[in-house]
Amino acid sequence: MKKKILNILLSKYFDFSKLPYIYISNIVCDSRLVKKNNLFVAIKGFNTNGKYFIHDAILNGAIAVLTYSNINKSYYLFNKKHKIYIFYLNKFDIFLPKIISKFYNHPSKKLTCVGITGTNGKTTVVDICAQWANLLGYKSGILSTIGNGFYNNLFTSLNTTVSSIELQCKLDFFYKNKADFVFIEVSSHSLIQNRVNNIFFSSAVFTNLSLDHLDYHISMKNYELAKFKLFTNFNIKNLIINIDDSIGFNWFYKLLPIKYVIPVTFNSKYINLFKYRWIYIKRIEYYGFLKKIYFFSSWGNGIIKLFLAGDFNIKNFFLSFATLLSLGINLKDLIDSSKYLLLPKGRLEFFKNRDKSLIIVDYAHTPKALKNILIESRKYCLGKLWCIFGCTGNRDKNKRPIMGSIAKKYSDLIIITNDDLYFENEFSILKDIKLGINNFDNVYIILDRILAIKFAIKNSSKDDVILIAGKGHENFHFISNKKIKYSDRYLVTKLLEI
């Protein structure tokens, strides 16, 4: 990458009249990745603080440092020992995305970006959109929980939405590699922390809202307002909303007079409210794994043939359908190709050995998602339904007893096990889950996840269904500060010998 002049990049925020030109080759927020002539950005995160690593970044070759100011003004200091300028920026979280976007020459302005938010279904909508566009010959980029990169060539992502620095860098990569579309999962955290600021979205999608992340947002209202920022704080042309969700319907009503809203619904009584584009799902017919879905829309009417499992995925499918239609893709082309779509890995994924029980691996880690996947799993069950699940450490404790209660209500046998513990004691998590269970008949506690899955497979019959919830596509287990290679999907294929 051609070097850029830091003085010009930060000219709006600092007086450079007495400073020499500083040429930077890249912008990095991880001190371990800093190379010679990089600008190191020290960000204050939820668990750590980039300022603690300024010295490491300097030793690795940083030519300057940009970080947040603790006072109500921007200023800079010169470190005489290392002969380096450290810039302290006021309103750092607001201005940083603008600076990074400018460094990369505003790549999102030259791309067609779609932001998808909601509690459940974001990853599925992102995957379906990208997969479907690819089937029709378009080149699609993904920034998602399941990975970042071009469809079918993804690299692991640790966060739903990466830092503003990584975002702009990846958008620049997509632009240089001629992406037609970029589909981005937008988390509530990233909206509150302004990480997606200065991304120019063409469309935004809302899936649903239910209990999650209250360790961060404190209340459901705060959580809702965080999500709503995507629909109010950005100048987005198309807003695709699931109005069968109560929050979605309220947003639809609020936004309708001032925004171009595209509602998606199963409910015919809403049709008279529609002003612009819309989709109404009229009827579903089931033929084994095949679904024939009759729909009406402002683009035209038709019948969709779909092999995606899970009734809840029908809404995810039609949100994706509306999104691609809003981007100008032909209705008939979408209808004709819909039967080829698959769910992403670790989302309602089936594993079966002829002589053993059916195993379903799913990412469900919220109360509503767990309920939905258990109800769906029951449809494939001739015997008993097993539910293996746990809850993540150092995260929202409020949902733990609720998930315990749901598991007990909708399954026949439960195994409570470990999910990612991070720095929380496994017995503390277990105690919270057990608060939601009033009867411990057919409830097993096997905290070692591998042993829990082995126990279920050994003690189940071939007519049983075993749901393994929580980790889905993930390939690692986080315990304390250790990142341990582990996959539910890989373990199951090994144990079933498939």
Q: Is the pLDDT of residue 401 over 90?
A: yes
Domains of the chain: 4-90 (3.40.1390.10), 103-340 (3.40.1190.10), 349-496 (3.90.190.20)
Q: Which helix (H) or strand (E) holds 242?
A: strand 238-242
Within 8 A by CB and 6+ apart from 11, the residues are none
For residue 287, list its beta bridge partners: 290
Within 8 A by CB and 6+ apart from 227, the residues are 117, 118, 188, 191, 206, 209
Distance, in Å, from the CA atom of 241 to the CA atom of 252, rounded to the nearest integer, reads 7
**For 487-496, how does the pLDDT look when each residue is reduced to its tens digit (9 = 90+)?**
999 999 999 9
Q: Is the pLDDT of residue 497 over 90?
A: no
Nearest-CA neighbor of 68 among 86, 48, 47? 86
Q: Is the pTM of this model over 0.75?
A: yes
Six token digits for residue 427 = 């017995």
Cβ count within 10 A of residue 219: 9
- Contact predicate 432/403, CB 8 Å: no
Q: What is the pLDDT of residue 1?
A: 67
**For 48-87, how does the pLDDT look when each residue is reduced to its tens digit (9 = 90+)?**
899 999 999 999 999 999 999 999 999 999 999 999 999 9
Within 8 A by CB and 6+ apart from 149, the residues are 141, 142, 155
Tell me if residue 280 falls in helix, strand or coil: strand
Distance, in Å, from the CA atom of 114 to the CA atom of 210, rounded to the nearest integer, reads 22
Counting Cβ atoms within 10 Å, is residue 345 exposed (0-12), middle (13-18) or buried (19+)?
middle
Six token digits for residue 385 = 């339904």
Calculated CA dihedral for residues 231, 235, 238, 239, nearest 10 degrees: 0
**For 440-468, how does the pLDDT look when each residue is reduced to its tens digit (9 = 90+)?**
999 999 999 999 999 999 999 999 999 99
Nearest-CA neighbor of 456 among 469, 440, 474, 438? 469
Higher-pLDDT residue of 339 and 160 is: 339
Distance, in Å, from the CA atom of 472 to the CA atom of 478, rounded to the nearest integer, reads 14
